Amino acid sequence: MIVVTGATGHLGKLVVEGLLEKLPADQVVAAVRTPEKAAGLAERGVDVRRADYTDPESLVTAFKDADKVLLISSSEVGQRVAQHQAVIEAAKQAGVGHLVYTSAPKATTSALVLAPEHKATEELIEASGLTATILRNNWYHENYTEVIKQAAQTGTFVGSAGDGRVASATRADYAAAAVAVLTGEGHEGKIYELAGDVAWSYAELAAEIGKAAGREVTYADLPADEHAQALTQAGLPEPVVGLLVALDADTKNGLLAETTADLRTLTGRPSTPIGVTVAELVAD
């Protein structure tokens, strides 16, 4: 039995769909904070169980009889370590045979602003003694959804990433890799650095948006303080502004640029080009 946490989230629901293509529905458990949101899965025979990262007892119950658990990292930046620790301890208490975790690129050594919580989680997993596989997902194309749509309408977008490159892939690509690990053999103890086949710059992203929108689109590279000012003027709250500017600095420094073969090896196909996602979003 395979349990997917966050099963109604963007990544989780794709993993569940992928599992249902390979396994009977009664072998898949959708662990979700709000079971009502997974009613459609329950109707298809998936075992829907309540699992709240802040409610350890719910996690132990959700993991009952699980052979494998996919821990999809929490979206609550700043609270992830405690939440992930609750999942790890519940998995150990429930006797889970194999824990799979979605981490960040080079999490234990990278200066990436989001890496510390993933590093701490990987260390907790190692200390737990659980058999585990770490999926270090690079960026998702979908992280740029709002930027792409806005730029297609206005003809420009701003940032402070310079010529930095991003080796991103789609959520569906990363979900397919997770499904391959959860349903395959020989992945225990492995760490996979998952990234797209091609790393692109913001200028190249602008060109792809322009191609899809049928107009000229430019990327305006700003100093970090001016980028922060622009985001603030656009109405974004201070913590979000700080995070986005820090992420562009990390991009500029090459922390998201490394391509690897791990993703296409696990999925058996090339990663989705950024241009494909751009075209879909602009046409939407």
Q: What is the pLDDT of residue 162?
A: 97
CA–CA gap between residue 122 and residue 119 (Å, rounded): 5
Predicted confidence at residue 2, as pLDDT, reads: 97
For the segment 167-191, what is each residue's pLDDT rounded down to a tens digit?
Answer: 999 999 999 999 999 999 999 999 9
Question: Which pair of tokens denotes residue 159?
Answer: 């940032």
- Binned at pLDDT 50, 70 and 90, residue 161 comes out as very high
CA gap 34, 90 in Å, rounded: 19
Q: Give every CB contact of residue 205 below 8 A, 6+ residues apart in sequence.
A: 144, 147, 148, 219, 274, 278
Mean pLDDT of 193-205: 98
**pLDDT grade for 231, boundaries at 50, 70 and 90:** very high
> pLDDT tier at 203 (50, 70, 90 boundaries)?
very high
- 214 conformational bin, left if phi > 0, alpha if psi -120 to 50, beta if neither: left
Domains of the chain (ranges; CATH) run: 2-137 (3.40.50.720), 143-165+197-258+269-283 (3.90.25.10)
Two tokens, residue 262: 């791990």
Q: What is the pLDDT of residue 178?
A: 98
Rounded-to-integer distance, Cα 114 and Cα 228, Å = 18
pLDDT of 192 > 90? The answer is: yes
pLDDT tens-digit map of 67-124: 999 999 988 877 889 999 999 999 999 999 999 999 999 999 999 888 999 999 999 9
Can you tell me the mean pLDDT for 43-64? 93
Indicate if the pLDDT at residue 18 is higher than 90: yes
Q: Say which DSSP state 73 is in.
A: P
Give the integer Cα–Cα distance in Å for 35 and 49.
7
Q: Is a pLDDT exceeding 80 seen at residue 34? A: yes
> Is beta strand 165-166 parallel, antiparallel or unpaired with respect to 200-201?
antiparallel
- For residue 78, the model assigns a pLDDT of 76
* Per-residue DSSP letter, 205: H
Q: Where do we find the tokens 């990436």? A: 112
| Residue among 171, 222, 167 nearest 196 (CA) | 167
Which residues, at least 6 apart from 116, have a Cβ–Cβ distance to it below 8 Å? none
pLDDT value at 284 more than 90: no
pLDDT at 74: 86
